[in-house]
Amino acid sequence: MKLGFISDTHGGYENVVQALKLLNDSDQICHLGDVLYHGPRNDIPQTYNPKKLTELLKGRTDIMYVRGNCDADVDEAVLEQDLSYKSRVITFDNYRFYLVHGYEETEEERIQKAKEFGCQVVVSGHTHVKVLKEQDGIIVLNPGSTTIPKDGTKSFAFYENGQIEIWDLDRQSLIVTLKL
């Protein structure tokens, strides 16, 4: 079973097409927020086409979302997807994942919430910086951004067979892996 993670797509159509192609064998994909709008702090991405991205994502039942700081009610309406959850807890392959965009709390607070919910993994976005580490007994994952990376590399992540991997989107190569 495979669980995909993308975040901070910010309307970058071609980037999302590429990420979804690489995650096409996933049983479920989690989008960690900031789906369509590029946001006031970011330049408009070269691949910015929120209308086309909306058509790509509309009606897909294999993607679940958490709301990011750049997501709005109009995004939910045009996508015809539920963007109302600021966080979610899902169980996948006997692991519990705490999903949150990550702009309203510190990493320590996210880890604490994950523990309270009985989760082994906390997954967030927002920073556009990839993270995969163990801290205080919890796996911390940020898949980075598919569109506007703040650390130089567009990326996505997935869980499969007891391990998490972060991949370079452009090079289609493994960046880092961690066994649960």
CATH number of the domain to which 28 belongs: 3.60.21.10
Global model pTM greater than 0.85: yes
* Total domains present in the chain: 1
Range of the domain at 52: 2-179
SS3 content of the chain, % helix, strand, coil (to 5): 20, 30, 50
Could you read off the pLDDT tens digit of each residue along the chain, which spans 180 residues? 999 999 999 999 999 999 999 999 999 999 999 999 998 888 899 999 999 999 999 989 999 999 999 999 999 999 999 999 999 999 999 999 999 999 999 999 999 999 999 999 999 999 999 999 999 999 999 999 999 999 999 999 999 999 999 999 999 999 999 999
- Specify the long-range contacts of residues 45-49, CB closer than 8 Å, at least 24 apart: 45/10, 45/11, 45/12, 45/15, 45/147, 45/148, 47/12, 47/13, 47/14, 47/15, 47/147, 48/10, 48/11, 48/12, 48/13, 49/11, 49/12, 49/13, 49/14
